[in-house]
Amino acid sequence: MTPNDPATHGSKTQVAARWLRAGQNVKDSVRGALLSSYEARLAAQVQAHGTVPQHLGLILDGNRRFARAAGLQREMGHSIGADKAHEVLEWCLELGIPAVTIWVLSTDNAGRDPDELGHILGLLRREATQLAVDPRIHRNRVKVQVIGQHDSFPPDVLRALKNLEESTAHHDGMRLNIAVGYGGREEIVNAVKCHLREQAAQGRTLEEVAAGLHSADISRHLYTAGIPDPDFIIRTSGEVRLSGFMLWQSVYSEYYFCDVYWPGFRRVDFLRALRDFQGRSRRFGR
């Protein structure tokens, strides 16, 4: 067999390929070890500081773009994003964050493709059904509230959401708000309507209501009444805007915009965001 023999050439090519794969595996192992070490240091820094948000807002953005970039069907991005929400909830529980609001579906999303919207609502029903019996939810006494406008949701979705709220209503641990069919403007309008109805029932005239109106009157009718306003809001996907998330409550919130799409949001990204929050000085307009 000569050096120019095709069989010899093929054998050399196969050996080279194996060496390349082995080298890539080593690189991946080293990269993974370095990332794990870095994540451990970040976690230690965050825990040593001790300060965590009292109310964390999460805008779960980038599911469709994640799927497109990965060559997956659009719906797969939403499915992987739903699994990621479970993972991030675990991180919040580990750090003892008292309240978390995750924005899953906005009022603007109602105009999306019916098949996509149906898939999202199906995921919502599935997740609500699972959370209602999830041992982590009950072990940590997580109280779940579903906020937003849900009148147009299918009956089976509404039943699952109601059952989830009722099954955790007695809990006194973390407060988890799931914002679906949610819009910040709609929330404020709803709060104003509730206040006007309340005052009308007490026999007050419109002039009397207007004269005595204070910001606290609106706050106590918001979906999040009874818990602190969010002090930290994270949005994934690289978009630098709120898009209507908690417009009233976020007046003094700190923001963090992360370039990664929601399904790819890693614990190291989460810890980086919290470390950034811990390094800020909140002045509340003073």
Q: Is 108 annotated as a binding residue?
A: yes
Q: Is 62 annotated as a binding residue?
A: yes
**List 4, 25, 28, 61, catalytic entry:** 61
- Residue 263: pLDDT band (50, 70, 90) is very high
**List 25, 109, 177, 229, catalytic entry:** 109
Written as six digits, the tokens of 251 are: 């007046």
Q: Is 68 annotated as a binding residue?
A: no
Any domain includes 10: no
Give the tens place of pLDDT for each residue, 180-198.
Answer: 999 999 999 999 999 999 9
Q: What is the pLDDT of residue 36?
A: 84
Q: What is the mean pLDDT of the chain?
A: 90
Q: Which domain holds residue 176?
A: 53-183+229-278
CB 102 within 8 A of CB 178: yes
Give the tens place of pLDDT for each residue, 212-237.
Answer: 999 999 999 999 999 999 999 999 99
30 pLDDT more than 70? no
Contacts of 116 (CB under 8 A, 6+ apart): 74, 75, 78
- Residue 18: pLDDT band (50, 70, 90) is low
Which residues sit opposite 103 in a β-bridge?
Answer: 59, 179
Q: Is 265 annotated as a binding residue?
A: no
Q: Is 242 annotated as a binding residue?
A: yes
- Tell me the mean pLDDT in the region 10-26: 56
Any domain includes 151: yes
How many domains in the chain? 1
109 is catalytic: yes
Any domain includes 34: no
- Residue 32: pLDDT band (50, 70, 90) is low
Q: What is the pLDDT of residue 111?
A: 78
- Residue 10: pLDDT band (50, 70, 90) is low
Any domain includes 193: no
> pTM for the whole thing?
0.86
Q: Is 220 annotated as a binding residue?
A: no
Q: Is 63 annotated as a binding residue?
A: yes
**pLDDT above 70 as % of the chain:** 87
Any domain includes 251: yes
Please report, for residues 9, 92, 141, 142, 176, the alpha-carbon distance to residue 172 in angstroms, rounded to integers and kept in the order given: 70, 16, 6, 7, 11
Could you tell me which of 42, 123, 87, 69 has the C-alpha nearest to residue 238?
Answer: 69
Could you tell me which of 168, 91, 86, 172 has the C-alpha nearest to residue 126?
Answer: 86
Residue with the bigger pLDDT between 3 and 279: it is: 279
Give the tens place of pLDDT for each residue, 105-154.
Answer: 999 887 788 999 999 999 999 999 999 999 999 999 999 999 999 989 99
Any domain includes 111: yes
Q: Give the CATH number, domain containing residue 102.
A: 3.40.1180.10
Tokens 């818990």 -> residue: 227
Any domain includes 208: no
Any domain includes 100: yes
Q: What is the pLDDT of residue 48?
A: 92
Q: What is the CA radius of gyration of the chain?
A: 24
